[in-house]
Structure 1
Amino acid sequence: MEMTSKFDPPDSSITTSLAAIRTHPQNDHSQFSRSISHKEPSFSEASSCTPPRLSSTSLTNPRLYVSQPSTPRLHSFTSPSKQDDLHTIYRCISSVLKKDGAILSVAASNGLVYTGSQSNVIRIWKLPEFTECGQLKSKACMVVALEVSNDKVYAAYADCKIRVWHRTWEGTIKHVRLATIPRTGGYVRSYITGKDKLMKHAGPITSLAINVSDDILYSASVDKTVKVWRISNLKCIETIHAHQEPINAIVVADDGVLFTASDDASIKVWRRNFCSGDRPHSLTVTLPAKYSPVKALTLASDGGVLYGGCSDGYVHYWLKGWFSGQLQYGGALQGHTHTVMCLANVGNYVVSGSADSSCRVWVRDPQDGQHRCLAALQGHRGPIRCIAAFLGRNSSANHEEVEDGCTICTGSLDGVLKVWRVKCTSSNARGTMQSNCEYFDLA
């Protein structure tokens, strides 16, 4: 582990090509798009180790600070809505800083965690001990999105291309580079304009999603389009002109329904038309997000709830009717003071990361559908850009371990990767919440 007091801001010539960067209309300074809002933190030089104050100014020439490892002392949090029967204990179990710059993407699969940053290195971490066990390197820098599926790792870079690796488990974990998407000189026909388009996105990629059953990889971009790639041959089979503004996030449901979120303050729902020869996606409904740009998306494990993290600091959610299948607005989770930049869902847990440098853990009651905030995880010194969450202590854990809580990996623009354990217990249970207990067993 390499620790420093701070590191220099990234090279502006590279930063401007990042998928999540915009230019403020009143100046020329580069910004990360998922942190843009009227409620963003300001980073200024500080002599103490206290977190920077939050202000209404934007991220202009940010200085990124090293986050010190959180205290191992156990914290407890009581749900305000059910203080008599619900307690949460949580702590940071690991805090790592590498000289890679801001952490921009994270993905977890089969006991491994992959992290992408401003450098050209994807680091691989082994769970539950959380030790680095490998690296994936390329000539391109800035890994802005990561997805792992069926032992394949998909990484989107700031050069608008996607690199693919194959993972093997023969004795030791190995990754073999398979391809770069798209290949040079490829074209695809847009089903809306009817004109040939270069397969490569015209702007930085912001998000990836995989539909395993249909052999499809989706990529969204600031160029306002979603491209559809066939995984088997890595060819682009469709270009969806989805929004009027840059697309920040996409997610696909188990039934193949695609959700896209944009700066135009809407979420759009798309279905594939299997009656058509080229199987174009068709728009089924547009969900307004209360006039706030949508920066992040996630689906409940059962697909019954869609969550959208917005620049107003709220996590808005929509409920799916079990008979009609239609989505109806359910409400908003309030707690963050700045833009919600990333979301994750596992079991009944919903995890949100924000530009206010905090992460919140929510639980949805499967009986009444109500949400309760279990914990507010604080310790980063910069906006939280990416999150991965899984049940138990290992990303390959099954759903039977939901009572054992969840593990959360948070990556921040401060360059620090943190791992948290959150455990929800009943305060009425015998032997629970001992007054002299400072740690809970991680073995």
Structure 2
Amino acid sequence: MEFFSKRSSWSYIDEDQRPLHSSADLSFKTHQGIYETEPPMSPARPSSASMVSFAPSSPESTWAFSPQHHHQPPSPSPTLLCYCLASLHRHHGSVYSIAISKGAVFTGSDSKRIRVWRQSECIERGHIKAKSGHVNVILAFGNTLFTTHKDRKVRVWAFSATDHFRSKKLATLPQKARPLSFPRVQPQQHKDVITCMAFYNAEALLYTGSRDKTVKVWRLTNKKCVDSFIAHEDRVNAILVNQGDGCVFTCSSDGLVKIWRRVYGESSHTLTISLSFQPSPVNALALSSSYKSCNLYSGSSDGLINFWEKEDDGGGRYSHGGFLQGHRFAVICLETIDKVVLSGSEDTTIRMWRREEESGFHVCLAVLEGHRGPVKCLSACVEMEKVVVGYLVYSAGTDRTVKVWSIKLFPGEKKVMVVDDEEKDEDDEIDMKKRMCYEMSPVLSPSWVHRKRQ
């Protein structure tokens, strides 16, 4: 890349660079249990005593138990294997953000340094140093990296993920006002910390949401703010853009999920619909779209994950499909990859869900345990093999550790039916299928239950 110079301080690679994990540091978890060399971890369902050891990460998080679950998620399938591949330390304070692009993993914490890791070997490759710390959000798209900082600004970086990692700052948003310009234009900066970002590639638009309740839209071609609007009555916690149609999704502590569209031929945005199913604060969003379907997921402080399905009428409307139960505390972060949904929570666990295309049910495939504090951020990528579908999942939170999980899905039957010798007649088999349908699926949408009862 031509923008690099010899005196640029883009890479700060430590001399003692080495893998940060060994056989003694690895922790393995299968469907049979956890084998850990460190002291015992917090349970998946913490007791009242264990709740004292973790402080809530946000004022609206009440640490209240979610409703009692009458339908427990199934045990992980024998065809699934998941284990902790590595634990990456060297972070100063909580880890707030993770992004993956071009074989590099970027992590942001309270420090001014954005650490860079090699994706496969989990080796630190260097870091990017900024003037301001508290890197709350990291967004990667191709060879471009976007980071938000304590000074309420967005920094845009270009990087090269070759053998020697290099980077260069391209812009700071908003730009400084020219002192001799008349009339002097004040930069349109957020009045509070930026909490989320999204990038729309087709129009080169960067969306930022903040605690000041607003969403700002930045055009990268001229590095200017082209739109700013009050999106919610409370802080904006997450923002997404559908790369297919440019639709913008936002969620907030006011308990609402809103869908916005850009006015044709203009830069302004208009509200199309508000989705509300619970009064609890909504902390995270994730979108799973394919040529057949489009599903929107939202994680809230009551421990539930609601999901909406896009209707096929062409109007862009979304209908509530149900919610996933399993977490005991607030759901803080969500990530989707293929048909898999990953959720991180204040209960220190990560749950892996899979949506069955034929039935539309969601099944909890695995529960990843190992963090000693709330899981604040997630990122994942596909690791394809010959006959095994593999995923690399990166998670981090208040325990100052980034964990790398390897998940393998082996080919095999998706539905397992176990019937005693005395229950082999046709009527009993149908009864068993219905019973398993209720027991294995954590989806409890009222409309879904109504259809099943009929």
* Residue 167 (structure 2) pairs with residue 178 (structure 1): no
User: Equivalents in 2 of 1:60, 1:184: separation in Å?
Assistant: 43
The answer to whether the 8 Å contact 2:102/2:142 transfers is no
The answer to whether the 8 Å contact 1:346/1:390 transfers is yes
1:249 Cα deviation (Å)?
0.4
Q: Which residue of 2 aligns with 1:319?
A: 309
The answer to whether the 8 Å contact 1:301/1:348 transfers is no
- 1:392-443 CA distances to partner (integer Å, 9 max, x unpaired)? 1xxxx6xx989513110001111010000112234559xxxxxxxxxxxxxx
The answer to whether the 8 Å contact 2:214/2:228 transfers is yes
Q: Which residue of 1 aligns with 2:345?
A: 354
Distance 1:334 1:401, change over 3 A: farther
The answer to whether the 8 Å contact 2:75/2:366 transfers is no
1:56 Cα deviation (Å)?
9.6
- 1:83-119 CA distances to partner (integer Å, 9 max, x unpaired)? 8x76321000011111411100000112111100111
1:326 Cα deviation (Å)?
1.1
- 1:349-397 CA distances to partner (integer Å, 9 max, x unpaired)? 10000000000011111222211111000000000000001111xxxx6
CA-atom RMSD in angstroms: 2.9
- 1:227-254 CA distances to partner (integer Å, 9 max, x unpaired)? 0000112211110211011110001101
In structure 1, what residue type is equivalent to 2:286? T
The answer to whether the 8 Å contact 2:75/2:365 transfers is no
Distance 1:314 1:402, change over 3 A: farther
Q: Which residue of 1 aligns with 2:259?
A: 269
User: Equivalents in 2 of 1:426, 1:80: separation in Å?
Assistant: 21
1:301 Cα deviation (Å)?
3.7
In structure 1, what residue type is equivalent to 2:277? A
Distance 1:323 1:407, change over 3 A: same
User: Equivalents in 2 of 1:402, 1:287: separation in Å?
Assistant: 40
- 1:200-219 CA distances to partner (integer Å, 9 max, x unpaired)? 10010000100000110000
* Correspondences of 1:182-201 after superposition (within 5 Å): 182-185=174-177, 198-201=187-190
In structure 2, what residue type is equivalent to 1:311? S
* Residue 396 (structure 2) pairs with residue 406 (structure 1): no
User: Equivalents in 2 of 1:366, 1:339: separation in Å?
Assistant: 27
The answer to whether the 8 Å contact 2:74/2:365 transfers is no
In structure 1, what residue type is equivalent to 2:139? E
Distance 1:54 1:213, change over 3 A: farther
In structure 2, what residue type is equivalent to 1:282? T
User: Equivalents in 2 of 1:341, 1:226: separation in Å?
Assistant: 20
In structure 2, what residue type is equivalent to 1:382? G
* Residue 410 (structure 2) pairs with residue 425 (structure 1): yes
In structure 2, what residue type is equivalent to 1:204? V
Q: Which residue of 1 aligns with 2:234?
A: 245
User: Equivalents in 2 of 1:49, 1:90: separation in Å?
Assistant: 18
Name the one with the larger strand percent. Answer: 1
1:54 Cα deviation (Å)?
4.5
- 1:273-292 CA distances to partner (integer Å, 9 max, x unpaired)? 1244xx21000000003111
The answer to whether the 8 Å contact 1:265/1:288 transfers is yes
The answer to whether the 8 Å contact 1:208/1:218 transfers is yes
User: Equivalents in 2 of 1:205, 1:111: separation in Å?
Assistant: 26
User: Equivalents in 2 of 1:285, 1:342: separation in Å?
Assistant: 23
Deviates more, 1:253-262 or 1:50-59: 50-59
* Correspondences of 1:218-367 after superposition (within 5 Å): 218-254=207-243, 255-276=245-266, 279-302=267-290, 304-324=294-314, 325-367=316-358
Indicate the SS of the match to 1:386: strand
1:341 Cα deviation (Å)?
0.4
Identity %: 35
How many residues are treated as equivalent by the alignment?
A: 354
Distance 1:111 1:171, change over 3 A: closer
1:58 Cα deviation (Å)?
8.2
- 1:44-100 CA distances to partner (integer Å, 9 max, x unpaired)? xxx965428444998898499xxxxxxxxxxxxxx95698x7632100001111141
Name segments (4+ residues, structure 1) moved above 6 Å.
Answer: 56-61
User: Equivalents in 1 of 2:128, 2:173: separation in Å?
Assistant: 16
Deviates more, 1:364-373 or 1:228-237: 364-373
1:184 Cα deviation (Å)?
2.3
TM-score normalised to structure 2 length:
0.72
In structure 2, what residue type is equivalent to 1:214? E
In structure 2, which of residues 87, 90, 107 is the aligned counterpart of residue 95 of structure 1? 87
User: Equivalents in 1 of 2:298, 2:143: separation in Å?
Assistant: 28
Runs of 5+ consecutive residues of structure 2 not aligned to the other structure: 1-18, 22-37, 58-71, 179-184, 415-454
Distance 1:237 1:95, change over 3 A: same
Indicate the SS of the match to 1:299: strand
- 1:155-181 CA distances to partner (integer Å, 9 max, x unpaired)? 011211111111135663311111211
Distance 1:273 1:409, change over 3 A: same
Indicate the SS of the match to 2:342: strand
User: Equivalents in 2 of 1:401, 1:98: separation in Å?
Assistant: 35
Distance 1:293 1:63, change over 3 A: closer
The answer to whether the 8 Å contact 2:158/2:170 transfers is yes
Distance 1:233 1:56, change over 3 A: farther
Indicate the SS of the match to 1:213: helix
Q: Which residue of 2 aligns with 1:6?
A: none
In structure 2, what residue type is equivalent to 1:248? N
In structure 2, what residue type is equivalent to 1:212? N
Distance 1:91 1:50, change over 3 A: closer
Distance 1:408 1:99, change over 3 A: closer
Q: Which residue of 2 aligns with 1:76?
A: none
In structure 2, which of residues 197, 206, 220 is the aligned counterpart of residue 208 of structure 1? 197
The answer to whether the 8 Å contact 1:2/1:98 transfers is no
The answer to whether the 8 Å contact 1:301/1:346 transfers is no
User: Equivalents in 1 of 2:148, 2:167: separation in Å?
Assistant: 17
* Residue 102 (structure 2) pairs with residue 110 (structure 1): yes
Runs of 5+ consecutive residues of structure 1 not aligned to the other structure: 4-46, 65-78, 187-195, 430-443
Distance 1:58 1:269, change over 3 A: farther
